[in-house]
Amino acid sequence: MLCVVDEPVSTEQMATQIHQEGLHLELLLFNAADVHLALGELTSLAQSPALICLQNYSRWDKRNKVPRKYVERLVYGVTNDLTTPYLSALGDLCVVVSRKDLDVFRVNVACSRLAQRSDEPFAAIGYLMNALTAAMNSLLSMSGWVLSNKKWTLRRWNKSRDLVFLDLCPTTWTEVSALWADLAKGPAVLDEALSRIETLLQQMTGRLAPELLRDEPFTGLQGNVARYPLHAKPLWSALATVMYDWPRTCRPA
């Protein structure tokens, strides 16, 4: 339960845990003015160019008193009198979260390509699974269904066949679902799956954040990998995969 109050609320607070008769309730307080400022920041990010949006959203918790994970819950929040005072911010939330998940998609495609060049095909397939999960979340978010908890992604995806995804090809749902099924076949499908997923990445980037297409090439990792424009948090497992053979990993495609 989230309670929005007029009184000042410490940013060091912890949620109050209430247990009764085997049931559990978590109670957390937020200051109304802080919530208003956070939603204003969300609007600003949604109206910003994609690169600025990604950079600032990654620093959200340092810039705002309302943590990022609770903004989504506040937007969806229903009051005791069955009103939804913050639901009008859903459009901005959709834009920002879909961009964030697009960037996670990009990170994992990059890591998959690096793992492939390091002769780590199982790692490459694992990154592609993460990539597709992020792609699903990005598509769902842009279609108006934001839910950051990844444990529900596949269930939501399987219920989303009739949603319209970004005015992309009407077979997008079928293609993404087929790619997910193919990845279960393992490294035998790596080259083909990576090519198809990179095509999907370009299509989604062109629709969601076309300015990213004008950056250094982000498929194939040609040239200087250090200039690959990623904004999500680095994946340490990816670094561990490639650092032992960095020169060979970074050779041109």
**Mutual orientation of helices 32-46 and 50-57 as an angle, nearest 10°?**
150
Q: What is the pLDDT of residue 164?
A: 64
Angstrom distance (rounded) from CA 195 to CA 252: 16
More confident residue, 225 or 124: 124
Q: What is the pLDDT of residue 100?
A: 94
pLDDT at residue 241 is higher than 50: no
What pLDDT digit, counting tens, does each position of 56-111 carry?
Answer: 999 999 999 999 999 999 999 999 999 999 999 999 999 999 999 999 999 899 89
Segment 7-34 mean pLDDT: 86
Q: How far is CA 160 from the centre of its chain?
A: 17
Closest CA to 45 of 56, 34, 35: 56
Confidence class of residue 143 from pLDDT cuts 50, 70 and 90? confident
pLDDT band at 244 (very low <50, low <70, confident <90, very high): very low
SS (H, E, C) 15-67: CEEEEECCEEEEEEEEEHHHHHHHHHHHHHHHCCCHHHHHHHHCCHHHHCCCC
H/E stretch holding 106 reads helix 90-117
pLDDT of residue 25: 86
- How confident is the model at residue 168, as a pLDDT? 67
- Give pTM, 2 decimals: 0.81
Given a cut of 50, whether residue 229 has pLDDT beyond it is no
Q: How high is the pLDDT of residue 59?
A: 92
- 16-20 vs 2-5, strand pairing mode: unpaired
Percentage of the chain surpassing pLDDT 70? 82
In angstroms, the CA 189 to CA 178 distance is: 12
Q: Decide if 96 contacts 45 (C-beta within 8 A).
A: yes
Tokens, residue 109: 């495609």
**Cα distance between residue 74 and residue 165, in whole Å:** 25
- What are 208's two structure tokens? 């969601």
Give the C-alpha separation, 37 to 47, whole Å: 15
Q: Is 4 helix (H, G, I), strand (E, B) or coil?
A: strand
Token pair 């990998």: residue: 225
Residue 110, C-beta contacts closer than 8 angstroms, at least 6 positions apart: 218, 221, 228, 230, 238
Nearest to 114 by CA among 212, 188, 219: 219
